[in-house]
Amino acid sequence: MRLSRYFLPTLKETPAEAQIVSHRLMLRAAMVRQHAAGIYTWLPLGFAVLKKIEQIVREEQNRAGAQEMLMPTIQSAELWRESGRYDDYGKEMLRITDRHERDMLYGPTAEEVITDVFRTSIRSYKDLPKILYHIQWKFRDEVRPRFGVMRGREFLMKDAYSFDLDTATARHSYNQMFVAYLRTFARMGLKAIPLRAETGPIGGDLSHEFIVLADTGESEVHCHRALLEKPTPEGVDYDADLQPLVDEWTGLYAAADEMHDVTKAASLGDDLVTARGIEVGHIFHFGTKYSAPMGATVTGPDGDPVTVAMGSYGVGVSRLVGAIIEASHDDAGIIWPEAVAPFHVGLINLKVGDEGTDAACASLYDALGPDRVLYDDRDERAGAKFADMDLIGLPWQVIVGPKGLAKGVVEMKNRATGEREEISAESALARLSG
Ligand code: 5CA
């Protein structure tokens, strides 16, 4: 993409309303604009990152055997009356009345919708287990939306739902999602810690939150050092028994501040780490909480009806954009991990209009392709170009000017380490294509 044509209205001033670094940087880097409290428009740069994150979430869900679908944002209140949550959910639910005076709502989650689809479609235990998911916008009328996309009112969530014949197989579905989450967050360059959690309005008796570590995170976590050093599970066979792997991750001490056992933690001595983090995922096993009142049953092996055991599994897709920035930035701006970067390379032309420089840039741009490179071909001061490129945080910068070209080199800069190297344009291309 040529920056001269790209819609990237970066801001020089730090917006006064933004209290945390990711919110400030997302506004300054022209990733989002606030539309109303807790509701954002995603500009091209922010949208590109959101899509990358969404795709990683999708790939790991599919790998674990979950199937993607799409449920509506606007739901019928009727189903929520059946589950008993319509009144419980309170003011966080945005309630809407249609022209026929029917009660509707903007979905804050989708247990009721999926349970309804399930009960009208699946009749036999032979069709189980199933894990179904979608990636869809949610609305929760939070009292205090703040921190930009980290606590929005409208936000993008991946929510998966599992259906099993009994608690033992439901536990396997839970474990599949647990492992998929470890892989998902690791692929985004994040360190995520699973914590035993409260179930809140979703309900149930087994739940884990996944907290990514960032110094500026909202919550405090205490955990065993070994948890931070555990390698990400690779080459997982999702059909195999995953319990030993899950036990390895849950057997080490880890607790959020409010559930923190001071005595137990103190016994860890030097192995205790206290850090800050952000909740990016939350998984629940809640058995028959929705299937029982809503009548989601299948015919079991002996011909009797069995109420299915369910779980639900959320990832805060739009929150992750902010969480990654909280975990990866410096004074100059964002530092995107390669896997979620909106572009791989920022190409800076130091002398637009100089024939040789323009030609060298054009050939690098063509060779790398417009999806991988953001080419700063604007007629701007070098300083402004450097500042913008650091701010938007692409993993690599290639800086091309007449002085370097006279020596046969371009400058290649690694955004994360700040390392700079003078190499030929061909070598830069070879490295960036690799
Ligand atoms: N139905 C379950 C799982 S599908 C559920 O809704 N779980 S949740 O309430 O924990 O939300 C799942 C994830 O969505 C959270 O872990 C968090 O990362 C994200 N999330 C929740 N509320 C917000 C919000 N207001 N803004 C941004 N992300 C949010």
pLDDT in tens, 174-233: 999 999 999 999 999 999 999 988 777 777 779 999 999 988 888 899 999 999 999 999
Which CATH code for domain 343-433?
Answer: 3.40.50.800
Please tell me the residue having the least CA distance from ligand 1 atom 27: 151
Cα(67) to centroid of ligand 1, in Å? 20
Q: Which residues, 6 or more positions from 102, have their beta carbon under 8 angstroms from its beta carbon? A: 76, 77
Residue 347's pLDDT is 98
pTM above 0.85, yes or no: yes
CB 306 within 8 A of CB 297: yes
Residue 11's pLDDT is 95
Q: Is the minimum distance from the CB of 53 to ligand 1 under 6 angstroms?
A: no
Q: Is the minimum distance from the CB of 285 to ligand 1 under 6 angstroms?
A: no
Residue 415's pLDDT is 98
Q: Is the minimum distance from the CB of 38 to ligand 1 under 6 angstroms?
A: no
Give CATH 3.30.930.10 domain extents, the chain: 21-334
Residues 292-329: pLDDT tens digits? 999 999 999 999 999 999 999 999 999 999 999 999 99
- pLDDT value at 245 more than 90: yes
Give CATH 3.40.50.800 domain extents, the chain: 343-433
H-helix or E-strand spanning residue 196? strand 192-196
Q: Is the minimum distance from the CB of 191 to ligand 1 under 6 angstroms?
A: no
Query: What atom in ligand 1 is closest to the CA of residue 161?
Result: 4
Q: Is the minimum distance from the CB of 311 to ligand 1 under 6 angstroms?
A: no
How far, in Å, CA of 107 to CA of 138, rounded?
6
CB 401 within 8 A of CB 422: no
Residue 217's pLDDT is 86
> What CATH class has 21-334?
alpha beta
Residue 124's pLDDT is 98
Cα(79) to centroid of ligand 1, in Å? 20
Q: 70: pLDDT confidence band, cut at 50, 70 and 90? A: very high
Q: Is the minimum distance from the CB of 157 to ligand 1 under 6 angstroms?
A: yes
Query: What atom in ligand 1 is closest to the CA of residue 159?
Result: 4
- Among 244, 208, 195, 184, CA closest to 64: 184
Instruction: Provide the 8-state DSSP code for 46.
Output: H
Residue 178's pLDDT is 98
Q: 401: pLDDT confidence band, cut at 50, 70 and 90? A: very high
